Structure 1
Amino acid sequence: MAVHVVRLPATQVPGGIVGNQSGIDRKPIEIVRFGCGSSKRWRRLAVSASVRGNDENGGDKSVGALEMHNVLEDLPYDVFSRESPLLPKPLSSSQLVESVSTGSRVRVAYQGVRGAYSESAAQKAYPNCEAVPCEQFDTAFEAVERWLVDRAVLPIENSLGGSIHRNYDLLLQHNLHIVGEVKLAVRHCLLANHGVKTEDLKRVLSHPQALAQCENTLTKLGLVREAVDDTAGAAKYVAFHKLKDAAAVASVEAAKIYGLNILAEDIQDDCDNVTRFLMLAREPIIPGTDKLFKTSIVFSLEEGPGVLFKALAVFALRQINLTKIESRPLRKRPLRASGDNGLKYFDYLFYVDFEASMADQDAQNALRHLKEFATFLRVLGSYPVDTTML
């Protein structure tokens, strides 16, 4: 395999790794080209990129790729690639690792570690994809925006736990588009190391929602609950530390990956436990009318009697079915003062899903009507409805 290091001006860096940082004096960056024989190709290697410069005391400092925009004046910096280990460490905002894709496989970011339900959702959404774990939801959004991955698959609501509000906020903060949805049946298992029996257990680790969803089973077993960041992370912790008195609530896939024994399956209190995930991309898809489509929007309104009723009426007048409405306080301007009595009210953003394609004339007319009195309106995506269930 031939490897060539080429020094390029920052404006020629493929994929916008340095990005459109205005008002910054960009300096060159090294990009690696590799390939076998004549089949050479360019690859972006700002993966786990280290940005080096001098701190205020004259010493050396290094930050991760997602903090490049804060220290671009401290260039030059080195960009290098690193092969993904068998169980890759999740990407964090300070260390985004991009391994070289193979062939035409789609790289899909998800939150959690190997064996998470989100990884299963990514595999369902994009079969044979290269699933890339991320520590936080924010990191998955940023990884797509910075061309480190092609897509992200993130949870938006659960049939028992309700909406994931953090991801609603991130949808507005980032310039990504919803290009699909996927629904996944959540089946919790009680996992422990081999040789450990149920009567040996004193505690159980998992995500708070997973623990709550298995309340009846865990109460009968008399186990102390310990909350961690995610279900697969709990399984990984139990296996890594070879715990003999603790179990994890996680998936069958997590048991396989971390070599744990399944003590009990389907321990959730409610068998109808479904999580809906959104598929996110840098560019929207072209909506069609050949299948059932859903459109997601977000808007804000002036305060006043009946204003929300008028906003929702634009859909009812055209026989458009609403499937979801979620309100979130405005982050930068949460309170609005009333001129009549001096009271202050929350100022809201409204997230709405409706069953119609943006290719439908009725949907276009409804949004034109809504725009007449909405102070803000943004279409988050128009995408096919997932009618399947695992």
Structure 2
Amino acid sequence: MSPAATIATDATDPAQVVAFQGAPGAYSHLACREALPDFAPLPCATFEDAFAAVREGRAACGLIPIENSTAGRVADIHHLLPEGGLYITAEHFLRVRHQLLAPKAATVKSVKRVFSHVQALSQCRRIIKDMGIEPVVSSDTAGSAREVAERNSPEEAAIASSIAGELYGLQVLRADIEDNHTNTTRFIRLERQRRDPDPQTGNSLTAIMFRVRSVPAALYKALGGFATNGVNVVKLESYLSDGFRVAEFYAEIEGHPAHRNVDLALQELEYFSRSLKVLGVFTAHPFRSEA
């Protein structure tokens, strides 16, 4: 196994462990290596397991995908955030680069079938069509790479991350084969304690979850404080809970709660809401200004 693909073990200091959802070699594993190269990644079967690993102290933090530029928001994450007992402390953007991986004996001409998650296959339609190979849907990208490596057939390939190729000993037949070269996944870093950045440094984002009161124009009134106090809302998503009777909202705003205009806007939001929780304050990733 290459050093880049090292996985956390029971002997690893939890203070140097980052939990992620997925199998070794998943894109979340690659995101961990990019965002926290000095941490040992801990693969978890589900998002709930990743949250629990951080909450129980088996990992210092978790790196969880929250949205993708092509596929949209990641299901279940916003439902886990309010009750997960963790706080957002940073964000990371991963450019999704799909690799066509195959056993060492395989060639571009020998490959007849390619295995991967349905989204990865759909994101690489052009090369699959050009090569005239059969796409086969599997449960995930990393698992596809592992299974192709185990069968060791020159007729099979997988679409997965570069780290999956390193981990399972596969060669890259074609690199960066995705149709859309701007495909990007946004991850959030979760920890047990809030770690608000210095309010004087700028570029702060505040993540909140709130429920509005069941009265006419409640959302309009609740959000009015952001407009009157000059606070920019950069993200707003709604969710139905409690048997489709209650509207819950996840929002991200520019600024720090220590800034007077943000504080006033949050006070007004709280007045018109049934509940309000700050999920974290963090520094905006440089990718936002580069995109």
TM-score between the two structures when normalised by the length of structure 1? 0.68
Percent identity between the aligned chains? Answer: 35
Q: Which amino acid aligns with 1:359?
A: A
In structure 1, what is the Cα distance between the partners aligned to 2:217 and 2:134?
49
Superposition misfits of 4+ residues, deviation over 6 angstroms: none
1:246-281 CA-to-partner distances (Å, cap 9, x unmatched) read: 211112222122111111111111110111100000
1:182-213 CA-to-partner distances (Å, cap 9, x unmatched) read: 11111111111112122332322222221221
Residue in structure 2 matched with residue 291 of structure 1 by the alignment: 202
Residue in structure 2 matched with residue 119 of structure 1 by the alignment: 29
Residue 172 of structure 1 aligns to a residue whose secondary structure is coil
On the 8 A contact 2:104/2:170 being kept in 1, the answer is yes
Q: Which amino acid aligns with 1:301?
A: V
Residue in structure 1 matched with residue 282 of structure 2 by the alignment: 383
How many residues are aligned here?
284
Within-5 A mapping of 1:238-387: 238-289=148-199, 290-330=201-241, 333-336=242-245, 347-387=246-286
Residue in structure 2 matched with residue 147 of structure 1 by the alignment: 57
Cα separation, partners in 2 of 1:360 and 1:124, compared to 1, 3 Å: farther
The structure richer in helix per residue is 2
Residue 291 of structure 1 aligns to a residue whose secondary structure is coil
Residue in structure 2 matched with residue 101 of structure 1 by the alignment: 12
On the 8 A contact 1:112/1:233 being kept in 2, the answer is no
Within-5 A mapping of 1:37-186: 99-102=10-13, 106-186=16-96
On the 8 A contact 1:98/1:148 being kept in 2, the answer is no
Unaligned runs of 5+ in 2: none
- Which deviates further from its counterpart, 242-251 or 293-302? 242-251
Residue 165 of structure 1 aligns to a residue whose secondary structure is coil
On the 8 A contact 1:288/1:359 being kept in 2, the answer is no
Q: Which amino acid aligns with 2:220?
A: F
Cα separation, partners in 2 of 1:188 and 1:379, compared to 1, 3 Å: same
On the 8 A contact 1:87/1:114 being kept in 2, the answer is no
Q: Which amino acid aligns with 1:303?
A: S
Higher relative contact order (CA 8 A, sep 6+): 2
1:338-367 CA-to-partner distances (Å, cap 9, x unmatched) read: xxxxxxxxx321100111112212111111
Q: Which amino acid aligns with 1:259?
A: G
On the 8 A contact 2:30/2:161 being kept in 1, the answer is no
1:189-248 CA-to-partner distances (Å, cap 9, x unmatched) read: 111111212233232222222122112222333333333333222111111221332211
Unaligned runs of 5+ in 1: 1-85, 89-96, 337-346
On the 8 A contact 1:106/1:126 being kept in 2, the answer is no
Superposed displacement of residue 304, structure 1: 4.0
Residue 76 of structure 2 aligns to a residue whose secondary structure is helix
- Which deviates further from its counterpart, 155-164 or 109-118? 109-118
Residue 140 of structure 1 aligns to a residue whose secondary structure is helix
Residue 314 of structure 1 aligns to a residue whose secondary structure is helix
Residue 193 of structure 2 aligns to a residue whose secondary structure is coil
Residue in structure 2 matched with residue 73 of structure 1 by the alignment: none
- Which deviates further from its counterpart, 307-316 or 141-150? 307-316
In structure 2, what is the Cα distance between the partners aligned to 1:87 and 1:381?
29
On the 8 A contact 1:155/1:164 being kept in 2, the answer is yes
- Which deviates further from its counterpart, 136-145 or 314-323? 314-323
